[in-house]
């Protein structure tokens, strides 16, 4: 270990961890820094090949309760305590680690106050402050005096050859048609585009000779054998990979497609991180939170309804029938897809 090595902690969630990858790559290219990354086990596949990351230290569910976490912090202190800590999470767990860290600790500005002022009061100075820098830029301020351009911090996932070979084999039966990946799932219901909109989009893409596939994880898959999701005119995707891939395989699949369409979700950031244009559908969340896809060909579609944003992550019930998502029309999404396919 040298004084150019750091321990980085970010335990969750998928999108947030993907957003760290461009920052680490920037620091590696600019300063030659390398990193030991502390995160949950499930995130290993998207970090292991990153050239700036020396090692990934995985955290299990059993280590997250208070006393096991305290013991784990003791292990980290003993093993890595001679190098600085960069806290890119800002939670109770990461703060506990920081409180007992013997070397320097660097943190980033979460802008909690500005987020709350804008969410609840539409405070204009807070909106401008949030608009000025996205989440990767905020991460970078843990070590940079001034945030670099967002284009310098675009997320990057480095794929293994075997995963890319696997993806090409899986997609080979679809032929040479343009291919669009769809991620119709969301952690919170309010962030889901209506099912009937997805079905119409699939139908209209097929009419233009464009193949479609579904990615993601869900307890209720979009295509279900016991029911027809698109009555009365079924339009099913050409390939359904729901619950069939790990993060590395999903990333490899996204590398092969022409466009990804997704709500505000973790897989949305995977698309950006492998260089695939993303059409992102935002409703209860907003660009000001800083989690939007920042690739050069990415497109955020939002209706900017008066009640949006209503939360940071899309939690809670909606009294307006999720108008912010429902009012995103299929034609707008289709046009964004075609525009990106035509530019490839």
**pLDDT values of the chain reduced to their tens digit, one per residue, 344 residues:** 457 999 999 999 999 999 999 999 999 999 999 999 999 999 999 999 999 999 999 999 999 999 999 999 999 999 999 999 999 999 999 999 999 999 999 999 999 999 999 999 999 999 999 999 999 999 999 999 999 999 999 999 999 999 999 999 999 999 999 999 999 999 888 999 999 999 999 999 999 999 999 999 999 999 876 655 555 545 789 999 999 999 999 999 999 999 999 999 999 999 999 999 999 999 999 999 999 999 999 999 999 898 999 988 877 778 788 899 999 999 999 999 999 998 76
CATH number at residue 96: 3.40.50.2000
Residue 237, domain member (yes or no): yes
Structural domain of residue 324, as residue ranges?
161-342
Q: In what order do the strands lie in the sheet with 53-59?
A: 53-59, 34-40, 5-9, 85-87, 105-107
In a domain, 135, yes or no: no
Examine the fold and report which residue of 79, 109, 139 is the final residue of a domain before the chain moves on: 109
- In sequence order, the β-bridge partners of residue 230 are none
Q: Do 70 and 210 reside in the same domain of the chain?
A: no
Is residue 171 located within the same domain as residue 268?
yes
Residue 243 CA: distances (Å) to CA of 63, 153, 181, 234, 246:
26, 30, 14, 22, 8
| CA–CA gap between residue 280 and residue 249 (Å, rounded) | 21
């Amino acid at each position: 270990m040298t004084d150019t090595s750091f321990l980085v902690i970010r335990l969750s969630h998928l999108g947030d961890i993907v957003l760290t990858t461009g920052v680490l790559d920037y620091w590696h290219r600019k300063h030659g820094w390398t990193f030991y990354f502390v995160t949950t086990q499930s995130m290993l596949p998207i970090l292991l090949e990153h050239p700036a990351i020396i090692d990934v230290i995985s955290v299990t569910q059993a280590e997250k309760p208070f006393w096991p976490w305290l013991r784990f912090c003791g292990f980290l202190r003993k093993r890595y305590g001679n190098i600085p800590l960069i806290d890119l999470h800002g939670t109770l767990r990461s703060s506990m680690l920081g409180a007992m860290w013997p070397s320097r600790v660097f943190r980033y500005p979460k802008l909690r106050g500005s987020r709350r002022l804008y969410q609840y009061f539409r405070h204009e100075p807070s909106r401008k402050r949030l608009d000025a820098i996205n989440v990767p830029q905020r991460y970078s301020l843990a070590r940079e005096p001034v945030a670099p351009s967002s284009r310098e911090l675009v997320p990057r996932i480095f794929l293994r050859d075997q995963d890319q070979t696997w993806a090409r084999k899986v997609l080979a039966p679809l032929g040479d048609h343009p291919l669009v990946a769809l991620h119709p799932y969301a952690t919170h219901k309010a962030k889901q585009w209506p099912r009937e909109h997805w079905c119409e989009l699939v139908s209209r893409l097929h009419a233009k000779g464009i193949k479609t596939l579904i990615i993601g994880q869900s307890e209720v898959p979009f295509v279900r054998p016991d029911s027809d999701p698109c009555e009365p005119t079924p339009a099913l995707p050409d390939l359904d990979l729901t619950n069939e891939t790990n993060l590395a395989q999903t990333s490899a699949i996204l590398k092969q497609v022409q466009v990804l369409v997704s709500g505000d979700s973790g897989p949305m950031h995977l698309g950006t991180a492998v260089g695939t244009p993303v059409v992102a559908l935002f409703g209860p969340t907003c660009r000001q939170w800083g989690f939007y896809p920042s690739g050069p060909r990415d497109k955020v579609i939002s209706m900017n309804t008066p009640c949006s944003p209503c939360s940071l992550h899309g939690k809670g019930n909606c009294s307006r029938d999720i108008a912010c998502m429902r009012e995103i029309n299929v034609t707008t999404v289709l046009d964004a897809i075609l525009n990106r396919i035509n530019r490839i």
